[in-house]
A = this chain, B = another copy of it.
């Protein structure tokens, strides 16, 4: 882990992100000025479940995986966060304890903010509180979606869903590049890598072609029906 200075692109990314964009410019800038930037290598742990943390994190580039550990050491992802996402915010209101482990899923740069300052700000400033509320709602809905998908859909259906979520509406055939390793996708969908692989090959019969990280869809409707 190495500490860096906040570049102007970082600053732009922060200020344009969903969270900061809805704050009054001066407020956002004040917070952003206080950021500490650091780089991490794949597999680095940022913090551990139940550990006290005193920062809120923002992904400047790369990918973070939040996961829980089972007694037997098995891991279960509860979220995968790409560039532009915030994490660790909920800990501010849960005795400053992380609810999950955070690990760099690939080379990573994060900005961090002191949570007591942010918490204080949220207590004084309605705008900040509002932004936090929306953040938490969105995050809560994501987790709920995940839980429901796990309980309702088979592996191929989850994968089909994931693919469709990347399809701009209207198009019937399209292709895109996976934003991360299949490894990570598997975890995010609650599958073993082998199961993801098999799901892809099941979807072949519905017009899905996989070449490396590139996914090609021939027939959107077929996927939706799956």
Give residues in A with beta carbon < 8 Å to B.
68, 70, 74, 76-78, 90, 93-94, 99-100, 122-126, 129-130, 132-134, 136-141, 143-144, 146-148, 150-153, 190
Given A123-B126, A136-B136, A140-B136, A151:B150 Cβ within 8 A = yes
Q: Do A68 and B136 touch across chains, with their CB atoms under 8 A apart?
A: no
Q: Do B134 and A133 touch across chains, with their CB atoms under 8 A apart?
A: no
20 A/B residue pairs, CB under 8 Å, sorted by A: A68-B148, A76-B151, A77-B151, A78-B147, A78-B148, A93-B137, A100-B144, A100-B148, A122-B130, A122-B133, A123-B126, A124-B126, A129-B130, A133-B133, A133-B136, A136-B136, A143-B147, A147-B150, A150-B151, A150-B190
Contact of A152 among B70, B133, B141 (CB under 8 A): B70
Contact of A129 among B68, B90, B99, B126 (CB under 8 A): B126
Determine the distance from Cα of A152 to Cα of B126 in the docked complex, in whole angstroms: 39
Contacts of A141 in B (CB 8 A): 90, 94, 99
Determine the distance from Cα of A99 to Cα of B70 in the docked complex, in whole angstroms: 28
Identify the closest chain B residue to A187 (Cβ): B151
Output the residue of A77, A134, A141 with the most chain B CB within 10 A. A141
Determine the distance from Cα of A124 to Cα of B126 in the docked complex, in whole angstroms: 7
Determine the distance from Cα of A140 to Cα of B138 in the docked complex, in whole angstroms: 10
Contacts of A143 in B (CB 8 A): 140, 143-144, 147
